[in-house]
Amino acid sequence: MDTFALLMDGFATALSLQNLAAAAAGAFLGILVGAMPGIGSLAGVALLLPLTFTFNPTTGMIMLSAVYYANMYGGSYSAILINIPGDTPAIMTALDGHPMAKQGRPGQALFTSNIASFIGGTIGILILTILGPNLARFGLRFGPVEMAALLMVAMTSLGWLLGDSPVKGLVTTLLGIIMATIGFDAVTGMPRYHFGSLYLLGGIPFIPLVIGIFGFSQVIEMMELRNKKREFDTERLTLKDSLLTKAEFLRILPPAIRSSFLGTIIGVMPGAGATTGAFLSYMQERRIGKDGHLLGTGRIEGVAAAEAGNNSAAAGAFAPLLSLGIPGSGTGAVLLGGLLMYGLNPGPLLFQNQPDFTWGLIASLYVANVITLMVALIITPWLIKILKVPVKIMIPVITMICIMGAYSANNSLYGIVMMLIFGVLGFLMKKFGYPIAPLLLAYVLAPTLEKNFRQALQISDGSFLIFFQKPIAAVLMVFLLATVASPIIRMMIGKIKNHTKGENI
């Protein structure tokens, strides 16, 4: 049977009433779990996995995929509404989403996020359907050298492109990298930079860091501004006003589609995930998008790029899982566990040996995506009401969420202490105009960069030339050099121009 016929058979399986109900339930639970900071998609899927054992394999996997997708949707809700990313990929969504909410357009932000997530998911799955195993082969070509080059490009973009001042951006990027090195060396396991502290030996815990620097810093800010005018314009918070106009819808299409393609490719690469997908998509939009320089001020294009990027990366991550049996992420591992539990052996032969299941799964990914979008759109009007809650109630509520999230990350008070410290740091950074996102992204990306960079140099026996000898890496390095050199060249051209002007006078 050819691909198309197999896929149609898959749909016939996926579209039973029971499966649709399972997808809807999964989507609802997934959004709830995803919106809670501190419980990422991994924990979400892991917590809900036992629930699905009682179902038949197809129903179980449909429900799990719905949970996985819905998590991505939910993560962006808390990012937009209260500026606390529910999961790491949502850091990028918060950059434009929360300013939009502050400007009285939370509905549009949520709506854009939903639509872009849907577009990202759909394009990701389409590419997965058509290219499947070939895509996974392509991803494999990203070895240590290529990944190191890619991450170097990402790291250099951080400081230059986020925030108003490149210097401040570089400072926070470096701070993020320094923080990521505390604890144990990721390659050899040697302890480093812990200053004899048993707590620091375990590194700086990520969830308390995010919750503190994004969420709790905001509580401090709210307390400071308590007596001033309410910053949210809550007058226009009806459902009708929160829908996108046709013109706005057309505005988000190009960034969403561009980001979906990029995100899918990133998702397929080993070791890169939805966070890198969202981040690079946002960067791409900032460079090539119309009005890209306005990103970060509350633009729907920014939300669209980030959300399409992270959802398509999540779909792309299924390619290595299905065609090689190698899970790209912790969540992928849980899904893999699910597959094994149903007596399937994901690997090079899965598509050949179990066509009905594989195509059923891909069809169920489509179905899960559609159902998740519907559930998401239905609950949006209730969500925007959160912003109508007065500040004096919001302060204790967000504080409670921050404390619970930070505690549950490791079941330890250490998490709460770290959360409070980073809350103060975040508050001071905002006050003095230092962007927060580069710090977090550098913290997330640095360990992967370090590991791949060191391995690349191991392969080359210490020669840096290796980054120019492999074709994919060479292209990335040329791009990197152009990024670094372009402001300098622009500055020099400007000087020469001024100089010649001066001579003419």
Partner 1 sequence: MKRLTLFVLISLITTMGTLAIGQEDGGSWTPSRNVEWVVTSSPGGGSSIFTQTIVEIINAEGLVDEDILINYQTDGAGSVGRRRVSRANERGHMLLTFNNGDLQPLVQVEQGDLDMFTPIAVMATDGQILLVPADSPFETAQDFIDALESGQRIIMGGSRGDDINLKDEIVEATGGDIEYLINDSTGDALTQILGGNTEVVIAKPAASFELVSAGELRPLIAATRDGFNEPFEAPTFIDLGYDISLTVYRGIVGPQDMPQEAVEFWSDVMGQVVETERWQEGYLGQFLLTDNYLPWDEALDYMQEFEDIYTAE
One of 326, 425, 442, 480 touching partner 1 (CB under 8 A): 326
134 Cβ contact list (under 8 Å, min separation 6): none
One of 133, 254, 337, 355 touching partner 1 (CB under 8 A): 337
One of 166, 347, 471, 494 touching partner 1 (CB under 8 A): 347
Minimum distance, C-beta of residue 305 to partner 1, in the bound complex (Å)? 28
Tell me, what DSSP letter sits at residue 204?
A: -
Per-residue x/- marks for partner 1, 159-198, CB under 8 A? ------------------------xxxxxxxxx-------
One of 68, 407, 427, 467 touching partner 1 (CB under 8 A): 407
Interaction between residue 325 and partner 1 (CB under 8 A): yes
79 vs 272, beta carbon nearer partner 1: 272
Do residues 368 and 69 touch, judged by C-beta distance below 8 A?
yes
Closest alpha carbon to 301 in 286, 314, 279: 286
Cα–Cα distance measured from residue 145 to residue 137, given in angstroms and rounded to the nearest whole number: 16
Minimum distance, C-beta of residue 442 to partner 1, in the bound complex (Å)? 16
82 vs 283, beta carbon nearer partner 1: 82
**φ/ψ (deg, to 5) at 127:** -65, -40
Interaction between residue 419 and partner 1 (CB under 8 A): no
Interaction between residue 332 and partner 1 (CB under 8 A): yes
For residue 325, the one-letter residue type is G
Interaction between residue 423 and partner 1 (CB under 8 A): no
Cα–Cα distance measured from residue 186 to residue 198, given in angstroms and rounded to the nearest whole number: 17
Interaction between residue 330 and partner 1 (CB under 8 A): yes
Cα–Cα distance measured from residue 337 to residue 327, given in angstroms and rounded to the nearest whole number: 10
Tell me, what DSSP letter sits at residue 88?
A: T
One of 8, 340, 478, 484 touching partner 1 (CB under 8 A): 340
Which letter, b or e, does each residue of 426-464 get, where b requires 16 or more Cβ atoms within 10 Å of its Cβ?
Answer: bbebbeeebbbbbbbbbbbbbbbbbbbbbbbbeebeeee
Structure tokens at 390: 């007065």
One of 130, 341, 481, 493 touching partner 1 (CB under 8 A): 341
Q: Where are the alpha helices (DSSP H) in 89-193?
A: 90-102, 106-140, 144-161, 166-181
Structure tokens at 355: 């066509």
32 vs 140, beta carbon nearer partner 1: 140
Binding segment for partner 1 (CB under 8 A), chosen from 65-73, 171-179, 400-408, 471-479, is: 400-408
Return the H-helix or E-strand segment holding 431. helix 413-431
One of 455, 472, 475, 479 touching partner 1 (CB under 8 A): 455
Interaction between residue 53 and partner 1 (CB under 8 A): yes
Interaction between residue 471 and partner 1 (CB under 8 A): no
User: Which residues contribute to the site for partner 1 (CB under 8 A)?
Assistant: 43, 46-47, 50, 53, 140-145, 183-191, 201-203, 270-271, 320, 324-327, 329-330, 332-334, 336-337, 340-341, 345-349, 396, 399-400, 403, 407, 410-411, 447, 455, 458-459, 461
